[in-house]
Amino acid sequence: MTVWAIGDLQGCYDATARLLEKIRFDPARDRVWFCGDLVNRGGQSLETLRLVHSLRDHCEVVLGNHDLSLLAIGARSETEQRKVNPDLGRIVQAHDRDTLLEWLRHRELVHVERELGWMMVHAGLAPRWTCAAAEGYAREVEAQLRGPGFDRLMRSMYGDKPNWSTGLAGPDRWRAIINVLTRMRFCTPRGRIAMEDKGAPGTQAQGLYPWFDVPGHEPRELRIVCGHWSTLGLMIGHGVHAIDTGAVWGGKLTALQLDTDEVRLVQVPGNDAVIIATSQQQRRA
């Protein structure tokens, strides 16, 4: 059995299919972890989501910010759903939308396999979070996603504030957890996320650090694989393996083998499709 992790798909079905073929993925034998942002911008989000759903017994998925946005759109009225971009609109109007969205709603924000020695998260961890703490915070939000609090969470999850604090409660707490796990790139040593800084390291404002390189951060007891940060590109260091290599932006789609001590990467060219996004989704990217 081989275990692979694959970076942000973002609706790039053709690239995803090519990569699964290139790594010779066999669902009877292998497993694959998807680092979130399965959908949006690539033009083939419905096909991509159906493909990943078809592998549901053989894959692990963590939710990214675009996946959460899709769930929020799915919870809106039909009139509001008709206003979203065509890539996501095809999902919420599909005959199998309820099956796909219900399955997506039950995915994790953090996936941990301690025997393998890995944690998967879409974006990152706050400086004062251990892997165990991040897992616990993720489970709080997942309980809302999967339970009667779903609609309330979807209505309240948008916004850049508050900054994370252990004293937060209710929607403010869930929003802060979601922002760390699905939107973080740069932050301060105290964990304030700089939502406006989206470039590569070296472009950020003074006093900000890549989340994985904040001075004095808590020790992380597991290796971490993540996506989300396409301008960072492939980055392996600090116990972190960042594998969003910008497939939807004309870059590459990357797979990383997890069940080996060697760094084994496989890549294919990304999509040339026109990128589709609403202004709101752009702001949350």
Listing DSSP states for 100-162 in one string gives HHHHHHT-BSEEEETTTTEEEESS---TT--HHHHHHHHHHHHHHHHSTTHHHHHHH--SS-S
Domain count across the chain: 1
Distance in angstroms (rounded) separating the CA atoms of residues 100 and 104? 6
CA-wise closest residue to 11 among 29, 35, 37? 37
CATH of the domain at 141: 3.60.21.10
Say what percent of the chain tops pLDDT 70.
Answer: 95
Q: What pLDDT does residue 283 have? A: 40
Q: What pLDDT does residue 272 have? A: 66
- In the chain, DSSP finds a helix count (H) and a strand count (E) of 10, 12
Check whether 148 has a pLDDT greater than 90. Answer: yes
Q: What pLDDT does residue 279 have? A: 37
Write down how long the chain is.
285
CA dihedral 150, 154, 160, 161 (to 10 degrees): -50
Q: Are 181 and 122 in contact (CB under 8 A)?
A: yes
| CB-CB neighbours of 108 under 10 Å | 20
Q: What pLDDT does residue 285 have? A: 54
Distance in angstroms (rounded) separating the CA atoms of residues 71 and 11? 15
Q: Give 202-212 pLDDT, tens digit per residue.
A: 999 999 999 99
Q: Give 243-278 pLDDT, tens digit per residue.
A: 999 999 999 999 999 999 999 999 999 986 545 544
Task: Look at residue 259 and give its three-state secondary structure.
Answer: coil
Work out the average pLDDT over 180-193.
Answer: 96
Work out the average pLDDT over 77-100.
Answer: 95
Q: What pLDDT does residue 71 have? A: 98
Q: Are 31 and 3 in contact (CB under 8 A)?
A: yes
Task: Look at residue 221 and give its three-state secondary structure.
Answer: coil
Residue 253 belongs to what domain range?
Answer: 3-283
Q: Whole-prediction pTM value?
A: 0.94
Q: Give 34-58 pLDDT, tens digit per residue.
A: 999 999 999 999 999 999 999 999 9
Q: What pLDDT does residue 271 have? A: 80
What pairs with residue 193 in β-bridges?
Answer: 187
Q: Give 224-239 pLDDT, tens digit per residue.
A: 999 999 999 999 999 9
